[in-house]
Amino acid sequence: MVKFLKIIPIAVKTGTVTIKYPYQEPLVTDSFRGAIEIDPNKCVGCGACTRICPPKALTLTTESNTMILRYFVGRCIFCGMCADTCPEKAIKITKEFELATGNIYDLYSDVEHEVKTCSICGKTFTSKKLSNKIASKVPDIPTETMDLCPDCRRKETLKKFIGVPEQ
């Protein structure tokens, strides 16, 4: 029984280990990865983050003329792969972990982009911002090509080479 009693000096020396959250020092270290934050000014809507996101917490959808990059923190596993992948460095990993809410809509955040419509078929195909970005990086693409969706672009290029097919 005597051996058990040795816990008393240990307990006295240790004292209280719990802290008065949230009034005392932060609970997390400097390396902690919490929820992400997407800078709508930097984001171009390329969708690279949605393709790497393991739990599919990031999704890219198009509703009428708006492209929506949606972040659902409820699915997020806080791995930060999106931030590693983002070519525009638009995603920041924050230390935010107090994410509980009574309203599920608080768990969604959207970044909206204007979409481009194809000048031939009228389909929406990419965000205006991404298109502009490409145009500025690769200056010799003709503007009319930039306005075409991938399908029409292929057809138009083919036409240039082999002429218009007879109906």
Partner 1 sequence: MDSGEANMSGASMVSAHSTNIVGDAISKIMEFKDKVFSIEQRGGIVRIKIHRDILPHIVQRLAILKGIYLRTMMASDERGLEGVYRLYYVFGVDKEHTNLVFEVALPQEDPKVPTVVDINRASDWYELEAHDMLGVEFLNRKLYRLVLPEDWPEKVHPLKKEYSVSELLKLYRPKAVEYAKEIGAENIVTIPIGPYHPALHEPEFFELYVRGEKVIDARYMGFMVHRGIEKLGENMKYDQVPFLAERICGICGFVHSTSYCQAVENALDIDVPERALFIRSIILEIERIHSHLLWVGVALHLLGYDTGFMHSWRIRERVMILAELLTGSRKTYGINVVGGVRRDIDNDKIRKAIDVLNYVREEFKKLVEISINVPQVTARLRGTGVLPLGEAIALSLVGPTARGSGLDRDVRRDYPYAAYKYVSFRVPTYSEGDNLARTLVRVDETFESIDMLYQLLDKLPSGSIRNESWSVEPYRLGIGSVEAPRGEVIHVLLTGEYSPYRWRVRAPTYQNLPAIPIMLKGIDLADAPLTIASIDPCFSCTDRAIVVDVDRNTVKSIPIEALSLKGTRAIR
C-alpha distances (whole Å) from 131 to each of 41, 44, 47, 127 are 15, 9, 13, 6
For 136, residues 6+ apart whose C-beta sits below 8 A from its C-beta are: none
Q: How many amino acids of this chain bind partner 1 (CB under 8 A)?
A: 25
Residue 26 near partner 1 by CB under 8 A: no
Specify whether the CB–CB gap between 90 and 42 falls below 8 A.
yes
Binding residue for partner 1 (CB under 8 A) from 10, 12, 162, 164? 10
Torsion of CA 96, 98, 100, 103, to 10 degrees: -60
Q: Does 33 bind partner 1 (CB under 8 A)?
A: yes
Beta carbon of residue 105, minimum distance to partner 1 (angstroms, whole number): 16
Per CB under 8 A, which of residues 86..145 are in contact with partner 1? none
The piece of 29-37, 115-123, 124-132, 150-158 that touches partner 1 (CB under 8 A) is 29-37
Summarize as ranges the residues that interact with partner 1 (CB under 8 A). 1, 3-4, 6-7, 10-11, 14, 17, 28-33, 51-52, 54-55, 77-81, 84
